Amino acid sequence: MSALTAELTLKDYRLTPAQVPPTVAEALEPAEKAELFDRIQRLLAEQDATLVAHYYTAAELQELAEATGGYVSDSLDMARFGSECRSSTLVVAGVRFMGETAKILNPEKRVLMPDLAADCSLDLGCPADEFTAFCDQHPDRTVVVYANTSAAVKARSDWVATSGIALDLVRHLAERGEKLIWAPDRHLGAYVQRETGVDMLLWNGACVVHEAFKADGLKQLRVEHPEALVLVHPESPLDVIAQADLVGSTTALVKAVRELSASTFIVATDNGLFHKMQQAAPDKILLEAPIVGKGATCVSCAHCPWMAMNGLQNLARVLENGNNEITINAAIRERAAMPIRRLLDFARQRQRVVLGNNDA
C-alpha cells in the first residue's frame, strides 16, 4: 500500500459536530400551513410540477406530496417515480444527492429543491477528488458507492448500491471474483463485509444520525420493554445492529411495523420515518432507539439536520421564483447514469421489487 493510499484509507471522513448544522424544524401556525398548502397546490398545477418527498422530511411535506399526486419514498424510488411521472418539473424534498439522482435519471426534466444547502454527511465525507485518487490506487478493485454520494463520485464508480440490495449485489460481485472498494458509509460497509465475508476496502465516512445510536442505551431500553422488537437501519454501528431483530432499509422497516405482529417497536433510524410508520400501523407503539449512552453527543438528535431544511415556505418560494434548479455537467451526468442503471437492471434481473427495497 502506498503512502497516499494508506493516508486516504485511514483518514477519518466523518464530520465533526462543528460541521453539522443544528436541526431546525419549520414552525407554522395552522392558518399559515393551510394557506401554504393551497398556494403550493396551485403552483404545482400551474407549473406542471410534481412533489417527491423523502421519508425523513416533515410530515406536512409528505402529506402534501401524497395529496397532490406526488410520492413519498426512499431516494432511488423517488428518482424512479420521477422518471415515470409525466410532469416536466420535479420538486425534490430531500437532500441534494436525491435531487442529483433525479436529474441524472431524468435529464430532460427541470429538477428543483427547496434548499440546495440540504446536504448529507456521507456525501460531504466523500470528496470526489480524494475518492478518485483512492480508487486510482486500486485499479484491480470494483468500485461500489452508496446512493448517498455526489454525481461526481457516482461517475467514478462501477456500481451504485442501496441498503436494500447491498448484500445481494456484493455477493453477486464476489461470485464473479471481484474485490471491492465500498464508499462512503463505514458502518453499512462493515455490516455488509461481516455478512458476506467479501474482500472490501471501506471508505471512512458515516451518517451523523445513525452513527449516534448507542448500544448501551439500547440494551437498557430493551430491558425496560422486553416485548418490543428492535428495528435497525444498517447505517448504524455494528454493536447496535447486533441487537436488532430486523436490519433493513427505510422501506423494509416500515413494512416490518405494518406486517409483524408485535405491538411495540424500538426503531433505530431518523425519527422522520415515524410518520410513515404510524400511517402504516396506527395502533403500534414506536420508541426511538436511544442516542444517550457512552460517548453520546446528540449531534443530530435522531433527525437529519439537512432533511429538516425542507419546509413549506421554501417549497412555495422555489416554485414562485424557479430558483434552486439542479444542474449537472453533461459528461458527469452521463457517466453517473451508468452505475445507477446497472443497479436498476440488477434489481430487475433478481426480480426484486426495487420499489420498496431501496433506501438512503
Residue 151 · residue 126 · CB < 8 Å: no
Single-letter residue type at 33: K
Does 162 help bind ligand SF4 (rule: CB under 6 A)?
A: no
Residue 71 · residue 53 · CB < 8 Å: yes
The residue (of 181 and 309) whose beta carbon lies closer to ligand SF4 is 309
Does 307 help bind ligand SF4 (rule: CB under 6 A)?
A: yes
Q: Which of residues 187-216 bind ligand SF4 (CB under 6 A)?
A: 207-209
The residue (of 36 and 146) whose beta carbon lies closer to ligand SF4 is 146
H/E element, 343: helix 330-349
Query: Which stretch, 114-122, 134-142, 242-250, 329-337, contacts ligand SF4 (CB under 6 A)?
Result: 114-122
Does 61 help bind ligand SF4 (rule: CB under 6 A)?
A: no
| Residue whose grid cell is 471508505 | 203
What does the alpha-carbon distance between residue 229 and residue 246 come to, in Å, rounded to a whole number?
Answer: 8
Q: Burial, 331: exposed, middle or buried (Cβ in 10 Å; 0-12, 13-18, 19+)?
A: exposed
What is the smallest separation between the CB atom of 263 and ligand SF4, expressed in angstroms? 27
C-alpha cell at 141: 478493485
Please pick, from the candidates 142, 148, 149, 358, the single residue that binds ligand SF4 as defined by CB under 6 A: 148
HSE at residue 225, side-chain half, CA atoms within 13 A, is: 19
Does 58 help bind ligand SF4 (rule: CB under 6 A)?
A: no
Please pick, from the candidates 304, 308, 315, 326, the single residue that binds ligand SF4 as defined by CB under 6 A: 304
**Residue 71: which region, alpha, beta or left (left: phi > 0; alpha: psi -120 to 50)?**
beta
| Contact code string over 246-285 relative to ligand SF4, x by CB under 6 A | ------------------------x---------------
Q: Is residue 184 reached through a cis peptide bond, with omega within 30 degrees of 0 on the bond before it?
A: yes
Please pick, from the candidates 50, 57, 62, 121, the single residue that binds ligand SF4 as defined by CB under 6 A: 121
Residues engaged in binding ligand SF4 (CB under 6 A): 56, 95, 120-122, 148, 207-209, 270, 304, 306-307, 360
